Amino acid sequence: MEYIFCSITFITIPFIIYYLCQRVSWLIKIGPIATAYILGILFHQICDLDNENLFSFQENFSSIYLLLAIPLLLFSINIKKEIRQNREVLKGFMIGLISLLIATCTGYFIFKDKVPHMSHMVGMVTGLYSGGTPNLASIKGALNIEANEFIMVHSLDFIIGSPSLFFFMTIAPRIFRMILPVDKDKSSNLQPTTSNVRPIYKEGPSLLKSLCVAIGVAVLSLGIGLLFPKNLQPIVIILLNTTIAILASSNRTINKLPLSYELGNIFIIGFSFILASMADLSKIDLGTSIGTFYFMMWSILISFVLHLLLAKLTNQDADKTLIAMVALYYSPAFVPVVTSSMKNKSILLYGIVIGMLGFIIGNYLGVSISLLLDFFA
């Protein structure tokens, strides 16, 4: 019965949030993604969703939403134009990586007497904040790190990462746009008003067309991705999903599919709601891991400040700098979430590419820096 209840909730809530966030003034200010996270956490607390089987169900449901959302968001993008405009991807990626390495390496010397197995922590945090949770799991296996260390870092990442993500989705865009230059060609489209919102609820046939093409892309990427080793499947499936969607968008008919971007936003709202509904705040014990908490706070805050400073010195675009941080700290999966809240789809591909580079390089970087610190210890 609970599966039926959750299914109905997960399907209907994103559409309700999307509808209300276009018509209720205070919800418009909060934004649909932040609203989804708040409601998701409340849903977990009210419905008491402590069930391993249900957790797997939630995880699978959120994955389906993500695999459908990415192609829907990419279909309407002019890929050739975006590639010409995103030649600075490597520069943005290197700025983020340099900032992170300075933060974690200085943190090593500050906190090494307070945190056991400090080189392991540096390796895990470097991997985590250069490509997201998949890197953290890979580095655990590569360095043979104990399970309790891994769980501690993962739990602390939720404590630090959740409010940070909320910051990136709400007030960060305004702050970044005050400090860094804004692409004037995009600035007129950053904050659309409700007066030009397309009537999505009256466009059933159009939605169905876009959804069918997205399902085709999702099934194809999933089918090929499952042929790979299990530890590579998540990133391979997302990479294939993105690549096939990019190729499909070069077809004029697909590129002009009505309401594909709007439907993609609704699925991202659903992904965000389900992800938040999986969070169990009661299981996190901060008291036993305060040293690691301080180190992780140091790493993310110092890398954030350095990234912003280097972006200012190199005249980087505000929105691209913000989405580069999100892609590195949280993985490519969260790029559509934040671009949706920023109302700037033009940086979607830029963010995904940086996130993919972070995933590829982050594993090597995390393991290498850990072994290097062990060697000189």
pLDDT reported for residue 315: 92
Q: Pick the residue with more confidence: 120 or 143?
A: 120
Are 175 and 181 within 8 A, CB to CB? no
Angle (CA) 75-79-85 rounded to 5° is 140
User: Cα–Cα distance between 127 and 104 in angstroms, integer?
Assistant: 10
pLDDT reported for residue 190: 45
Angle (CA) 364-370-372 rounded to 5° is 95
pLDDT reported for residue 188: 43
Which phi-psi region, left, alpha or beta, contains residue 116 (left: φ > 0; alpha: ψ -120 to 50)?
beta
Are 114 and 291 within 8 A, CB to CB? yes
User: Cα–Cα distance between 222 and 227 in angstroms, integer?
Assistant: 9
User: Across the chain, what does the average pLDDT equal?
Assistant: 82
Query: Which pair of structure tokens corresponds to residue 163?
Result: 């409010």
Quick check: 297 pLDDT over 90?
A: yes
Are 288 and 116 within 8 A, CB to CB? no
pLDDT reported for residue 16: 92
> How many other β-carbons are positioned within 10 Å of the β-carbon of residue 229?
7
Q: What is the DSSP letter of 231?
A: G
Q: Pick the residue with more confidence: 373 or 33?
A: 373
Can you tell me the mean pLDDT for 185-214? 62
Question: Which amino acid is residue 238, in one-letter code?
Answer: I
Kindly list the domain boundaries of the chain, sorted by start residue. 75-182+200-261+280-376
